[in-house]
Structure 1
Amino acid sequence: MDMKKDYDLLRERAELLKVLGHPVRLCIVRGLLNEGEKNVGDMQECLEIPQSTVSQHLAILKSAGIIDNSRQKTENYYHISSPLAKELIEVLFK
């Protein structure tokens, strides 16, 4: 058993859990999984929180590599980019 390798994997998984450990971020990722790509405005209406708050949570998720965005005209649409996060959300809400 390679302790260093195991510890790196544990740290990576712990970081994923930490980022997803906020109810708003968990809701965003679950919504993207269930409903597909969404823009900030769609998420803001669904979550009923200020758009700036949604944007802050999206930035955290994007920085962690959990989501990514694509630009369509003047809008950014977000989607899940982490297969591991997708799998985790599927298990959590099975």
Structure 2
Amino acid sequence: MKQVINDIKITDLQPEVLERAASMLKAIAHPMRIAILSHLEDGKKLTVTEIHNLLKIEQSTTSHHLGILKDKGVLASQREGKNTFYFLKHDSLRNIIDCVSKCSVG
């Protein structure tokens, strides 16, 4: 039985699309990065400073994780004055965050 996601069959995806998806999932698969993504749900846009204050980690560590997530296409950023705001690049990534939250309980 083929798995269908939004009318796209997994078996129909091109190898390069699957490679990009795997790369994104590898980037997400880190406890601190999952925590970062959980703060960016529901269309939120946060700065490095806001994220490092929320997670109580060093700003350099926060920047490192944000860089990885942005590089792998998970996050996007938008500069406004002196601040750079980070946000989920694709709204559907919320489904992954939601799944991880639900699947890791119990």
Task: Output the amino acid matched with 1:76.
Answer: T
| TM-score normalized by the length of structure 2 | 0.74
Aligned to 1:78: 86
| TM-score normalized by the length of structure 1 | 0.82
For residues 18-57 of structure 1, the aligned pairs below 5 Å read 18-34=26-42, 36-57=44-65
Task: Kindly provide the CA deviation profile for residues 31-66 of structure 1, in whole angstroms up to 9, marking residues without a partner as x.
Answer: 101571100111011111100000000000000111
Note the C-alpha offset of 1:84: 4.2
Task: Kindly provide the CA deviation profile for residues 6-51 of structure 1, in whole angstroms up to 9, marking residues without a partner as x.
Answer: 5444433322221111111111111101571100111011111100
Note the C-alpha offset of 1:70: 0.8
CA RMSD of aligned residues (A): 2.4
Between Structure 1 and Structure 2, which shows a larger proportion of helix residues?
A: 1
Note the C-alpha offset of 1:88: 1.2
Farther-moved stretch of structure 1 (19-28 vs 9-18): 9-18
Helix, strand or coil for the counterpart of 1:93? helix
Structure 1, unmatched stretches of 5+, are none
Aligned to 1:93: 101
Task: Kindly provide the CA deviation profile for residues 49-93 of structure 1, in whole angstroms up to 9, marking residues without a partner as x.
Answer: 100000000000000111111111100011100244232112223
Structure 2, unmatched stretches of 5+, are 1-10
